[in-house]
Amino acid sequence: MQESTASIQDQVSQDIGRFLQRHKDPRKGLLQLSAKTRIHTKTLRRLVLKEHNPTYQTLYKLYSCLMGTADLGQMLNAAPALIQEKLRRTDPQLKSSPLHKYNVIIEQELIKDPCFSELYVLADTRPFDLKFVKSRFGEYGLDVLQKMLQLNVLRLLENGRYALGSNRSTFSAEAIKAVGLRLTEKYSKPARTDENYANYMNLFFESINEATYRKWLDIDVQAFQDKMRLLEDPSSRGSLPIFMFNVIDTLQEPS
């Protein structure tokens, strides 16, 4: 595992280096890459120096820019083999739905439009009909529905309900935050916390050291992976639509 990580760090460093070589001033090149990928220049420098192990979200943002495409299928086909392997191994969406197409353009709609994002989530968990869309979002919702059909984000089922189509959204950290906050605001139910197995909420704040903070992060990563593994068993699927949104971060202002 360590050798694989080191190889990925080498690959990413080389690919960023090639991008910077196309600019007379590498500093301006780094700023340009940061603007295009929405990756902080500090993180990009650490990637060049091989001091950072990139997550699949970082790799998506970086290689969508380096490969010149917002379509994840095209990006995967064009990216170096090591990058392809890590993305296919670590992205939950690619593992569960490898045949779908994932596009950054759809993610942008997801981030900016609450109606689009809610219909996207519901289409995957509890398909809805036209009456539901009109009652929940009015005429605007019907316009969004038509847009989603044109983008092949939605498809009409034989029973008249709408489910997710062949084109899906990528999920950067920005999209996770936007969609997660909306779902939490609309669907979290504090009144049900007294019921066993109805839901789970937690909030905690404290000053801790760096080593403990990293252990916390590792615990949450492992918990998420354990939950995803449960879904590999077909019998785990059922009729209960759920969402999960989890954040651990520092109480420091962004630098």
Do residues 23 and 43 both lie within one domain? yes
CA distance 123 to 165: 9
Do residues 8 and 75 both lie within one domain? yes
Do residues 89 and 144 both lie within one domain? no
Do residues 90 and 13 both lie within one domain? yes
Q: Is 238 part of any domain?
A: no
What pLDDT sits at residue 69?
86
* Residue 13 pLDDT greater than 60, yes or no: yes
Q: Is 134 part of any domain?
A: yes
Give tens-digit pLDDT for 23-38. 989 899 999 999 999 8
Task: Specify the 3-state DSSP secondary structure of 241.
Answer: coil
Confidence of residue 90 (pLDDT cuts 50, 70, 90): confident
What pLDDT sits at residue 115?
98
Range 146-160 average pLDDT: 96
Q: Is 225 part of any domain?
A: no
Q: Is 229 part of any domain?
A: no
Q: Is 87 part of any domain?
A: yes
> Containing domain of residue 23, as a range?
2-95
Do residues 34 and 14 both lie within one domain? yes
What's the number of domains the chain is made of? Answer: 2
pTM comes to 0.77
Do residues 142 and 88 both lie within one domain? no
Do residues 77 and 140 both lie within one domain? no
What pLDDT sits at residue 73?
79
Boundary (domain end) residue, out of 168, 190, 221: 168
Q: Is 121 part of any domain?
A: yes
What pLDDT sits at residue 42?
92
Do residues 111 and 151 both lie within one domain? yes
Q: Is 21 part of any domain?
A: yes
The CATH number that applies at residue 158 is 1.10.10
In a 10 Å sphere around its CB, with 0-12 CB exposed, 13-18 middle and 19+ buried, how is residue 144 labelled?
Answer: buried
Do residues 74 and 11 both lie within one domain? yes
* Residue 2 pLDDT greater than 60, yes or no: no
List, as one string, the DSSP characters of 21-73: HTSSSHHHHHHHHHHHHT--HHHHHHHHTT-----HHHHHHHHHHHTT-SBHH
Give tens-digit pLDDT for 176-199. 999 999 999 999 999 999 999 999
Q: Is 205 part of any domain?
A: no
User: CA 226: distance to chain centroid?
Assistant: 18
